[in-house]
Amino acid sequence: MDERAAGPDEPARAGVDASVESVFREERGRLLASLSRRFGDLDLAEEVASEAIEAALVHWPVDGVPSRPGAWLLTTARRRAVDRLRRDRTYAARLAVLQVEADRADPAPAADADGELPDERLQLFFTCAHPALPAEDRGALTLRCLAGLTTPEVARAYLVPTATMAQRIVRAKKKIREARIPFRVPGVDELPARLPGVLQVLYSIFTEGYAASSGPTLQRSDLAEEAIRLARILRRLLPAEREPAGLLGLMLLIHARRAARTDAAGALVLLADQDRGRWDRAMIEEGRELVRVALTGGPPGRYGVQAAIAALHDEAADLTTTDWPQVVALYDVLFALTPSPIVALNRAVAVAMRDGPEAGLVLLDALADEPRLRGHHPYPAARAELLYRCGRFAEAAVAYREALEQVGTDPERAHLSRGLAAASAAAGAGSGSSAGSDSDSAAGTRDG
């Protein structure tokens, strides 16, 4: 059933006008949100949303696209849902109870004056990111329901077999249905506790696309772009909140560097060596404006601060002219908001740029016993590079080997292997020179 409801872009429907399909990526999420809100059941919503889209694919190429495509789809889908409920009385009885209780908890919004449908996707964001769902399923469900990806597409995004992903999505939907996770937007008083969960889901989709944790390709831009698209929707739906602006800004300021981040062969290019002329200036400008929004009018949030750090990198002509004192100061703010060893690691690398590699090493070595950095390859990689810059080549080679044992993607492995070769050669030569420094990957490419 799940696969039948997979959406408009299956091979069987290839050849359909691309402009018709592009309508549905956006509309499918809106449809699902309205329908799940109305019928209190995600499975039924998915089923009739897909039927409505199939109907549109039959009728629109012949009759033309209706003036309000969203309203047409919703009316068609609702009619199908009512048909389905007439056929299945038990199901209808169960949904009727759900509906009465859902309305009691959260009355449905009316269409606005010009008859346009209210955008009810915000409640779907909160349902998909609900803390009662397994953390690893929240991103998958968000991509499925709000980004309009098919289950095979979500499976590819997370590099798991389609059958595995289908099972995870079925299980998550079963929990939503049977534990009755509501389709509702948290109240103003609950928002501070619930919004970070939604932002975290979008950011994890982005980072999965930005630096795939395993596999032959370092970046999967399409996944990062899905995350950006979702963050834009969330920002539109919550215009008064500053952290969605900060998150969108952070994503744009990192994504702006995508063209320069790998070379023609797919190898990782460090921030120090990136051709900054290839950075996307328009995207950086948009990101900087969002940083301004995120950091104005109240205490800063973690995504706003991370975006500000990314902006400092994007504004600099090169590494040496980067405002490292300001970067370190922002990491201090970030550490106060989210005291994690990952933030401490990034701060140490920034301190190394401000005060020299020895100062950074002192801070890194103080983190040696952090359980959360065990198996986290940026830690030994950053140590290796600072040790190399200090001329401690033999120790650098050991740290490079340690990083290589932990790293997942091939381009990052290649980069570390080059570092290891350089360190081994220098150590073998017994030279004290530290020429050829190509450090700072941790500062530039990991703004988390």
Partner 1 sequence: MKYMLLIHSGAVDAEGGAPECGVEEWMAYDKEVKDAGIFVSGESLADLVTATTVRVGEAGERTVTDGPFAESREVLGGFYVIDVPDLDVALDWAARCPGARGSGAMVVRPIADFSV
* Residues of the shown chain interacting with partner 1 in the complex, contacts defined by CB under 8 A: 90, 93-94, 97, 101-102, 104-105, 130, 132, 178-182, 184, 186
Q: In terms of CB distance, is 99 or 424 closer to partner 1? A: 99
φ and ψ of 344, to 5 deg: -60, -35
Nearest approach, Cβ of 93 to partner 1 (angstroms)? 5
In this structure, how many other beta carbons lie within 10 angstroms of the beta carbon of residue 26? 16
DSSP assignment of 384-409:
HHHHHHTT-HHHHHHHHHHHHHH--B
Question: Measured between alpha carbons, how far is 332 from 326 in angstroms, rounded to an integer?
Answer: 10
Nearest approach, Cβ of 435 to partner 1 (angstroms)? 57
Nearest approach, Cβ of 439 to partner 1 (angstroms)? 46
Q: In terms of CB distance, is 130 or 415 closer to partner 1? A: 130
Question: Measured between alpha carbons, how far is 9 from 153 in angstroms, rounded to an integer?
Answer: 10
| 3-class secondary-structure state, position 41 | coil
Q: In terms of CB distance, is 94 or 156 closer to partner 1? A: 94
Nearest approach, Cβ of 231 to partner 1 (angstroms)? 24
Q: In terms of CB distance, is 187 or 371 closer to partner 1? A: 187
Nearest approach, Cβ of 97 to partner 1 (angstroms)? 8
Nearest approach, Cβ of 250 to partner 1 (angstroms)? 29
Q: How far is CA 47 from CA 68, 108, 171, in A?
A: 21, 21, 17
Q: What angle do CA 181, 109, 245 make, to 5 degrees?
A: 75
Are residues 137 and 42 in contact, defined by beta-carbon separation less than 8 angstroms?
Answer: no
| 3-class secondary-structure state, position 40 | coil
Question: Measured between alpha carbons, how far is 25 from 43 in angstroms, rounded to an integer?
Answer: 18
Residues 400-409: contacts with CB under 8 Å, at least 24 apart: 403/377, 403/378, 403/379, 406/375, 406/376, 406/377, 406/380, 407/377, 407/381, 408/212, 408/213, 408/214, 408/215, 408/377, 409/211, 409/212, 409/213, 409/214, 409/215, 409/216, 409/217, 409/218
Pick the closest to residue 130 from 193, 189, 188 (CA basis).
Answer: 193
Nearest approach, Cβ of 436 to partner 1 (angstroms)? 55
Kindly tell me the sign of the dihedral angle through the C-alpha atoms of 300, 306, 307, 312: positive
Q: In terms of CB distance, is 38 or 255 closer to partner 1? A: 38
Tokens 């068609």 found at: 76
Nearest approach, Cβ of 179 to partner 1 (angstroms)? 5
Q: In terms of CB distance, is 86 or 104 closer to partner 1? A: 104
Are residues 38 and 118 in contact, defined by beta-carbon separation less than 8 angstroms?
Answer: no
Q: In terms of CB distance, is 176 or 361 closer to partner 1? A: 176
Identity at 261, one-letter amino acid code: R
Nearest approach, Cβ of 90 to partner 1 (angstroms)? 6
Q: In terms of CB distance, is 146 or 176 closer to partner 1? A: 176
Nearest approach, Cβ of 193 to partner 1 (angstroms)? 10
Are residues 323 and 289 in contact, defined by beta-carbon separation less than 8 angstroms?
Answer: no
Q: In terms of CB distance, is 12 or 132 closer to partner 1? A: 132
Tokens 């300001």 found at: 326
Q: In terms of CB distance, is 79 or 94 closer to partner 1? A: 94
Q: In terms of CB distance, is 174 or 278 closer to partner 1? A: 174
Nearest approach, Cβ of 190 to partner 1 (angstroms)? 8
